[in-house]
Amino acid sequence: MSKVKISILVLSCLCIFFFSLFLTPSVMNPFTLNTLDRDILVSIRLPRLLVAALMGIALGASGAVLQGLLKNPLADPYILGISSGASLSAAMGLVSGIYLFGQFSIPFTAFAGAAVASLMVGAFGWKGGRLLPERLLLAGVGMSFLFYAALMLLISISTHEGMRRAVLWIFGDLSMADWSLIPWGVLFIVAGLGISLSRARALNALMLGDELAHSLGFSVHRERLLLFTSIALMTSASVSLGGTIGFIGLLMPHIVRFMLGSDNRILIPVSALCGGAFLCIADTVGKSVLSPVEIPSGIVTAIIGSPYFLYLLRKKDVLGQ
């Protein structure tokens, strides 16, 4: 039964990718493309689709890993303060006016901020030679508030013209997507996804508790550190590609868990795939509904996702309790 459900989900996601690429905002026939269509497809639509898919994949997978790692169904990749660290860093980069890396400046400073935030949260969550989930969560929440406070202060006192761009980016802006960042995004996201998939059994065991995980032959602290690293890699790459897009990391693992169960060997890859497809839908809706005005994808994901999530919660408890 699960194999049928997984096949249907994979097929649906592939259809969504196809639909997003060829059918919106205007219909293109993939078999009769002229030169202009091909240019639009390769230069605009395909990189945007890939950025959306990569971000969704990273958020879906890291949400599934984080919910398992913290044993907390309300955990979202952004709860660890990685996105707020990235946002603050990017805004500081814009205000300083130093563009050391040209067009890469915003994503680079965002990634640097995300990496520093990950290290800081990891350092605060570390005690007695191990990473403690409760400390990690509290450190993430604390750091997140601190970074957001600094960001809001920067936005309120700054008159820099780039700040509007920064605010748009904070809410998830895919309109500037191009090929330049995709190889880096692929590199970090594939690395993070690879680590998390290879540690999926360990994550299952950790969800039973540290003592049972140890009894099943896992080095609890090593596995937790590897899983945190995978989350940090995927979330940092995602934020650098297109800003902070909420709800996918929280929502996708729950929807997949509701349909296919809690086994992380299935949950992580399917949440990744569905996250990618969902962000493609959100981006398509965002650029089509009020065309030519674009709605940031982060807003669309919340508007589409929240009612469906509440429907699931009402129809059948997604926590299985």
The site that binds another protein (CB under 8 A) totals a number of residues, namely: 23
Tell me the CB-side half-sphere exposure of residue 211, using CA atoms within 13 A.
0
Length of the chain: 321
Upstream peptide bond of 25 is cis (omega within 30 degrees of 0): yes
Please, which residue, 127 or 164, has the CB nearer to another protein?
Answer: 127
Is 153 a binder of another protein (CB under 8 A)? Answer: no
Here the tokens at position 167 are 């605010």
Residue 212 CA: distances (Å) to CA of 116, 134, 209, 215, 246: 33, 18, 6, 5, 33
Residues numbered 185 to 224 that lie near another protein (CB under 8 A) are 201, 204-205, 207-209, 211-212, 214-219
Please, which residue, 43 or 219, has the CB nearer to another protein?
Answer: 219
Please, which residue, 32 or 321, has the CB nearer to another protein?
Answer: 321
Is 261 a binder of another protein (CB under 8 A)? Answer: yes
Q: State the binding string over 277-306 for another protein (x if CB under 8 A, else -).
A: ------------------------------
52-83 b/e with 16+ CB inside 10 Å = b? bbbbbbbbbbbbbbbbbbbeeeebbbbbbbbb
* Residue 265: CB minimum distance to another protein, A: 10
Is 130 a binder of another protein (CB under 8 A)? Answer: no
Please, which residue, 4 or 157, has the CB nearer to another protein?
Answer: 4
Please, which residue, 165 or 201, has the CB nearer to another protein?
Answer: 201
Whole-number Å distance between alpha carbons of 168 and 134: 32
298-310 b/e with 16+ CB inside 10 Å = b? bbbbbebbeeebe
**Among 280, 259, 256, which Cα is nearest to 56's?**
280
Q: Contacting another protein (CB under 8 A), which of 30, 142, 307, 320? A: 320
Residues found near another protein in the complex (CB under 8 A): 68, 71, 201, 204-205, 207-209, 211-212, 214-219, 257, 261-263, 319-321
